[in-house]
Amino acid sequence: MTDALPLDPVIHAEARLRVMTTLAALGPKDQMSFPRLQELLGMTAGNLSTHNRKLEEAGYITVTKTIEGRSPATYLALTDTGRAAFGTYRKALAALLGG
């Protein structure tokens, strides 16, 4: 057995890992609209919302709701905590696969 870090169960779920990976590709101050993330991941709005809620509760993402014109708009971004957790997750996964 190795001394590998455990994989973060909040991130490890496939759908949440896909959300984190997509948002991590953005710059630290950038955000993505909910419909764009939904389109990229091919997820239903309800499923994506459920996984986003878990990530938000963990402090890994922020969800910002605004009004653009007369329509509501939702944007998502990684927090500094989320970016750090994702970095740790990647290192743990690499150690596990490399071992």
What pLDDT is recorded for position 5?
A: 74
| 55 vs 93: CA distance, rounded Å | 19
What pLDDT is recorded for position 10?
A: 97
| The two structure tokens encoding residue 7 | 């994989």
| Tens digit of each residue's pLDDT, the chain (99 residues) | 456 678 999 999 999 999 999 999 999 999 999 999 999 999 999 999 999 999 999 999 999 999 999 999 999 999 999 999 999 999 999 998 885
Q: Which pTM does this prediction carry? A: 0.91
| 91 vs 11: CA distance, rounded Å | 13
Written out in words, the top-level CATH class of the domain with range 9-98 is: mainly alpha
